[in-house]
Structure formats: C-alpha cells, structure tokens
Amino acid sequence: MAAVDLTTHPGHLARRLQQAHYLLWNTMVSEEITSPQFAVLNALVVEPGLDQRTVGERVGLDRSTVAEVISRLGRRGLLGKVRDPRDGRRFLLRLTEDGLRTHRKLTVRTARMNQVFLAPLSAAEQGVFFDLIRRVADAAEGLRHPAEPLAARP
C-alpha cells in the first residue's frame, strides 16, 4: 500500500518516451549513428568551426558527454578538430565530406521517423506536444542557472 501510480509521474513518462524514441531511431534511422551524435553533426552544419563547449550548449550535452560523442564521430572520420590558433584551450570542430554526407542522409530518414513517431497525434496535438514539453524542460533548465541573483558580490 501507499504505492504510487507511475503513469502520473512526468519523469517516468519522459524516460519511457525516450526509450520509445531510441527504439524507433535504431530501426528507422541508423544503428551506427545515435540521435545525440546526429544532433552534434547538425550543430556543426549550422555553425562550422564551433568548439566543444559551445556544441554542447547548442545540443544540450554536458562537457564530458560532448567529449565522448565527438571522439566517436572523430574516430569514424565524420569530423576533424584543430587547435584554435587564437585560443590554445579550444578545439575547432568541422565536419568532413563524409560527415556532411552522413548528415544529409540521416536528415531524410529522421524526418520519416518523426512522422511515424508522432503519427498517433493530430497535427494540432503535435503542436501542443512540442509546446508543453518545451515549456517544462525550459523551466527546469532555468532552475539550474538561478538567473544571477542581483546582489551577487561577495
């Protein structure tokens, strides 16, 4: 007794949603390139020459994870990293020809996959779906950086 109904717990639903997505991605998009890897490729298509930290910021990955993902993409020859001549701490990242090709190919498949994934919802519902999730995620994300309290001088 005193147990809880997990289907009313947003965290549990979020986990299940991601599992479902993982499954579909694996069968419909790629078994080699994962969804976070695609997100990194995409970020570098938009802004070639980003450094690791900024890539992580764009796609929502922390420093450690982004390092792993980038190292995998590098091993596969999909991107290259060179030291920033103007700031020796940074590596500048850039897709290779192969990386661009892979991104183009996966973009098509990803679109198809999203259609299947969202098929249970009407077009209107899909809009609501995005809106609600984004608002919840953004709000929680906001709690992370507590908006720089005004009097922050020690």
DSSP characters over 16-66: HHHHHHHHHHHHHT-SSS-HHHHHHHHHHHHSTT-BHHHHHHHHT--HHHH
The CB-of-124 to DNA minimum distance in angstroms stands at: 28
The CB-of-85 to its own copies minimum distance in angstroms stands at: 26
Stretch that binds its own copies, among 66-74, 75-83, 85-93, 121-129 (CB under 8 A): 121-129
* CB-count burial class (<10 Å; 0-12, 13-18, 19+) for 42: middle
Handedness of CA 75, 77, 79, 85 (dihedral sign): positive
- By CB under 7 A, what part of segment 47-76 binds DNA? 51-54, 61-65, 67-70, 72
The CB-of-27 to its own copies minimum distance in angstroms stands at: 8
Give me 152's structure tokens: 């922050």
Name which of its own copies, DNA, none residue 96 binds, using a CB cut-off of 5 to 8 Å depending on partner kind.
none
Could you tell me how many residues make up the chain? 154
Name which of its own copies, DNA, none residue 109 binds, using a CB cut-off of 5 to 8 Å depending on partner kind.
none
Q: Does 90 bind DNA (CB under 7 A)?
A: yes
Q: Does 15 bind DNA (CB under 7 A)?
A: yes
